[in-house]
Amino acid sequence: MGTENRPLNTSPGQRLRQAIASNERVLPFIGVYDVFSASLAGRHFDGLFVSGFGFAASHYGLPDVGFVTWTDILAYVQRLRTVLPTHHLLVDIDDGYCDPEVACHVVSVLESVGASGVVLEDQKRPRRCGHFEGKQIMELDEYLAKLRMVLAKRRDLVIVARTDTSDQEDMARRVQAFAEAGADAVLIDGLPTLDIVRRLSKLVDRPFCFNQIAGGKSPPCTLADLHQAGVSMAIYSTPCLFAAQAAIEDAMADLRGRDGTLEGNPIGVPDCNRVLTDNLERRDKRP
């Protein structure tokens, strides 16, 4: 992993642009749900995804149906950037939290605290996870007006324009319109096949994102599969959250089965504190 030695004389947005442009393979972004999970994922990957699904689950204990507020996301990204000063932080901002003016403000303040990029979707409220049914889609002109305002407001922040439409003709129309509006990358969420990406990536001169979530609509794909299909950025929304759920369930079952003894725990105080101490050292070394 090369983030620790990456120069900080450029903005997070500029560094992400450079990584996308220079990367000959697919650039992965690992979905995290709190600062501790980000600390662990950041030991293995340069790109982290601030997942709305994961944040709704960890911060509120609720499904990803529009409960997340921009102020909570802002505070979260600020904490992430404090302990992970050089990683790429791609942030899910749903629809920009309703109004175009709010979306512009959110983009501005997220950039000011060190976000590298954001994903802006075209869903109406009440929203849904992109891999669930029941999504409602904004009129294209309405979304493009918001997208153009956000693009005009940002400085270097990478803007990923996301559509949740399930109609293939509409997909083509929308991603081409997103590219013409100036979006830095495009994402079609909940795709059932890579064939759509193979076709549309040849029509749109913008990096393509692909979102993978265990148990979702999209098929499991290797990075080689994605690269061959024309994908540049791969988002993994929930691996940390789902791994934590499985590990905690197992740990609680083991604790009950061992009559309450902690003997045999794979992680102890020194192991956990080592991660936290590393974060403290990175924080103190920030320029």
Q: What is the pLDDT of residues 234-261, one digit of tens each?
A: 999 999 999 999 999 999 998 888 887 8
Q: What is the Cα–Cα distance from 68 to 65, expressed in whole angstroms? A: 8
The SS3 call for residue 186 is strand
Structurally, the chain folds into a number of domains equal to 1
Asked if 122 and 95 count as a contact pair (C-beta separation under 8 A), the reply is yes
For residue 192, the model assigns a pLDDT of: 85
CATH number of the domain encompassing residue 118: 3.20.20.60
Indicate if the pLDDT at residue 282 is higher than 60: yes
The SS3 call for residue 54 is helix
The SS3 call for residue 132 is coil
User: Is 179 inside any structural domain?
Assistant: yes
Q: Please, what sign has the CA dihedral across residues 72, 148, 185, 167?
A: positive
Residue 233, token pair as written in the block: 């950025």
**% of the chain residues with pLDDT over 70:** 94
Q: What is the pLDDT of residues 104-155, one digit of tens each?
A: 999 999 999 999 999 999 988 777 665 656 678 999 999 999 999 999 999 9
Asked if 198 and 207 count as a contact pair (C-beta separation under 8 A), the reply is no
Q: What is the Cα–Cα distance from 97 to 6, expressed in whole angstroms? A: 32
User: Is 272 inside any structural domain?
Assistant: no
For residue 6, the model assigns a pLDDT of: 52
User: Is 185 inside any structural domain?
Assistant: yes
For residue 287, the model assigns a pLDDT of: 61
Look at 11-20, 243-252, 276-285 and tell me which has the smallest mean pLDDT. 276-285
User: Is 228 inside any structural domain?
Assistant: yes
User: Is 180 inside any structural domain?
Assistant: yes
Amino acid at 57: A
Average pLDDT value for residue range 65-69: 87
User: Is 260 inside any structural domain?
Assistant: no
Give the closest residue to 59 by CA, choosing from 87, 83, 37, 88: 37
Residue 31, token pair as written in the block: 């979905």
Split at pLDDT 50, 70, 90, the class of 95 is very high
In 42-144 the beta strands, taken as DSSP E runs, fall at 47-50, 88-92, 117-121
User: Is 163 inside any structural domain?
Assistant: yes
For residue 215, the model assigns a pLDDT of: 81
Domain that holds residue 46: 12-252
Q: What is the pTM of this model?
A: 0.92
Residue 68, token pair as written in the block: 């997340």
Indicate if the pLDDT at residue 98 is higher than 70: yes
Indicate if the pLDDT at residue 3 is higher than 70: no
Q: What is the Cα–Cα distance from 149 to 183, expressed in whole angstroms? A: 11
Amino acid at 64: D
User: Taking the CA atoms of the chain, what radius of gyration do you get in angstroms?
Assistant: 19
Q: What is the pLDDT of residues 203-226, one digit of tens each?
A: 899 999 999 988 877 888 999 999
Give the closest residue to 231 by CA, choosing from 49, 29, 27, 44: 27
Q: What is the Cα–Cα distance from 36 to 33, expressed in whole angstroms? A: 8
User: Is 277 inside any structural domain?
Assistant: no
Q: What is the pLDDT of residues 19-33, one digit of tens each?
A: 999 878 899 999 999
